[in-house]
Structure formats: C-alpha cells, structure tokens
Amino acid sequence: MRVLVTGGAGFIGSHLVDGLLAEGHDVAVADNLATGRRESVASAARFFQVDVRDPELGALLERERPEVVLHHAAQTMVRVSTEDPLYDADVNVRGLLNLLTACVRHGVRKVVFASSGGTVYGTCETLPITEDQPFRPESPYGITKTAGEYYLRYFSDSFGLRFTALRYANVYGPRDHVSSEHVITVFAETLLAGGAPIIHWDGEQAKDYVYVEDVVRANLLCLDRGDGEAYNIGSGQPVSVNTLYAMISVLLGQQHVIPVHGTKRLGDVRLFYFDCGKAKRELGWAPGVSLHEGLHRTLRWYAGRGSG
C-alpha cells in the first residue's frame, strides 16, 4: 500500500515509518523539520521537506498518489497553544484543511488522524474515559484537535474521504526530544545531565501513558479498519507524575536526586485514563508493553544513544 506520513520525521511519525516499512508498505514522508529530525527517517522511505500549510503539499500528493495518509504533523504542545493560539490554530486547523482538500483532489482513500485524548475530553467526572464522553477541551491545543475531528467528519460526509481518529494518551518512547516537554523525556534528560527535574503542580496529577510501539500497531490496524470512528489509544491505567519520577529515578540509579516543585501549568488536567475496550472490540488492538518495560526500553535508548 502507498502511504504518506505527515510529521514522519518526528517522534511518533518516525516510528510509524519504521512499522509501515516492516510490513512492506511503500512509504513517503512529509515534514518541515521544525521539530522532526531528518536522521530519524528510515532511508527506505522517500522524504520531502514540506509544511502541511504549504500549497506544495497538494503537488506532493499528486506525484506520490498515496492511498492512505497518516496525519501526525502538528503543533503538539499545550503550553505553546496557550501562549500563541493563533499559531496553534494555523498549524493544526489550517494545515489539516490544506491536507484534507488535497486528499480529496488527488484521490486519497483514507486519513488516519492523530487526535489527543488527553486534551479533547478535558476534565471528566466519569472515569475511565470512553469515546462517547463529550468534548470539553481546556486548552487551545485541545480545541484545535477537537475541531480536527469535526472537519474529518465533514470531509467524510461531503466528499467520501474515509478517516479514523486515534485519541492518544501520553505517548512515550525512544526518539522523543526534551523540547516536546513530555514529562518522561524531561525527567530522563534532566537526570542524565545531572540536574534536578521540576515537578509541576503537586505531582499527584495522574495520566494515561502508552508506549510508542503500541501506537504504531494501532495505526497499522487502521489502514483498513475503523472507518468513520474514533478510538482511545492508551494503557487504561492512571500513573501520577510522582510515581513516574520515582520509577525513572530508580531505573537510572538517580533516586537520591530530589526534584524541584513548580506551579501548575495552564491547561493541565488533574486526572485522565482511558477505557480502550472499543479499540479492542473493533480493531483488535490492546496495549502490549507494560509501563515498566516501556520505561526500561526508553531510558536505555536515552542513556545509550542520547537524544540531545
């Protein structure tokens, strides 16, 4: 199958490229390298440096003729979205619309969309969170991801463009970069550099964490399943920031390092974790990598190869 991965030089995207190639798919990558790394893209994939907001994206789709697009190019940080909501909307909404319009024009069959379960739902009174929970985003980033799902349904209803939305929990694993501000990456990088990590809020906020390899499997299953649906992709278990820090510091032999406590960040949610039963029933997907094993693999990569 011919597949285009937008954001394919990024953390999740580069792992998707590897997974697609391993299954024998023909893979192209579109990435503007704002946060992605060219060296993360497997040599067997065709790489194009292009922004999803650029009109050149349509010409790329016309040349490559992908059957499916895995859309992972995005502005992904809640903090950035609160500081500059216009930029967040420009990338996440205008960029998506540019892509979807090009997909319709050039015969793409389906788009698999990286949504954000941790932000589109907001604070939920009923836990674990199922896909029928109402959207209550609490940050501009969550709002743009919510809008993205509505646009997907519009393009599906109006033009027949098939889609699946994957609402990710907090994804972690090798190749992430400290600039992402993902807590596991920040803890690992800071401890390995000899510093004391900052724990924002009181550290008892708890979230759902999923290993990147499990996210790749979900995307691969959606190449020909899950049309018109949204799925939670997570572990189904909440883990507090304090617990994460304790696990990471022990695995790195840095349990003597006392973290610094900071203030609550704008848009941060107190507690969320998923019910992933729908993904199991309809996609045949369930998380396969435990938190302990995932952290072990992740930290081994940081310590052995560095992410700088």
- CATH code for the domain in which residue 200 is found: 3.90.25.10
Is residue 145 domain-shared with residue 268, that is, in the same domain?
no
Average pLDDT in the chain:
96
User: Are residues 137 and 269 located together in one domain of the fold?
Assistant: no
Quote the pLDDT of residue 48.
Answer: 98
* pTM of the complete model: 0.95
Q: Looking at the structure, do residues 155 and 8 belong to the same domain, yes or no?
A: yes
Q: Are residues 192 and 220 in the same domain?
A: no
Confidence of residue 268 (pLDDT cuts 50, 70, 90): confident
**Domain holding 110: CATH number?**
3.40.50.720
126 & 201 share domain: no
- Mean pLDDT value of segment 279-298: 98
Residue 147 main-chain phi, psi, to 5 deg: -60, -40
Name the CA dihedral angle for 166, 172, 173, 175, rounded to a multiple of 10 degrees: 90
Looking up tokens 């009181």 gives: 202
The reply to whether 129 and 185 lie within a common domain is no
Same domain, 14 and 154: yes
| Residue 282 tokens, joined | 């309809």
Do 246 and 123 lie in a common domain? Answer: no
| Alpha-carbon gap, residue 76 to 115, rounded angstroms | 10
Q: 287 phi and psi, to 5 degrees?
A: -65, 140
Q: How confident is the model at residue 267 (pLDDT cuts 50, 70, 90)?
A: low
Annotated active-site residue 150? The verdict is no
What is the reported pLDDT for 179?
87
The total of structural domains in the chain comes to 2
3-state SS record for the chain: CEEEEECCCCHHHHHHHHHHHHCCCEEEEEECCCCCCHHHCCCCCEEEECCCCCCHHHHHHHHHCCCEEEECCCCCCHHHHHHCHHHHHHHHHHHHHHHHHHHHHCCCCEEEEEEEHHHHCCCCCCCCECCCCCCCCCCHHHHHHHHHHHHHHHHHHHHCCEEEEEEECEEECCCCCHHHCCHHHHHHHHHHCCCCCEEECCCCCEEEEEEHHHHHHHHHHCCCCCCCEEEEECCCCEEEHHHHHHHHHHHCCCCCCCCEEECCCCCCCCECCECCHHHHHHHCCCCCCCHHHHHHHHHHHHHHHCCC
CA dist 205 and 242 (Å) reads 8
Instruction: Examine the domain organization and report whether 71 and 139 are in the same domain.
Output: yes
264 and 152 both lie in a single domain: no
Mean pLDDT of 254-260: 96
Q: List the catalytic residue out of 87, 121, 141, 150.
A: 141
pLDDT at 307: 42
Structural domain boundaries enclosing 67: 2-169+211-233+275-287
pLDDT tens column, 59-108: 999 999 999 999 999 999 999 999 999 999 999 999 999 999 999 999 99
Same-domain pairing of 150 and 20: yes
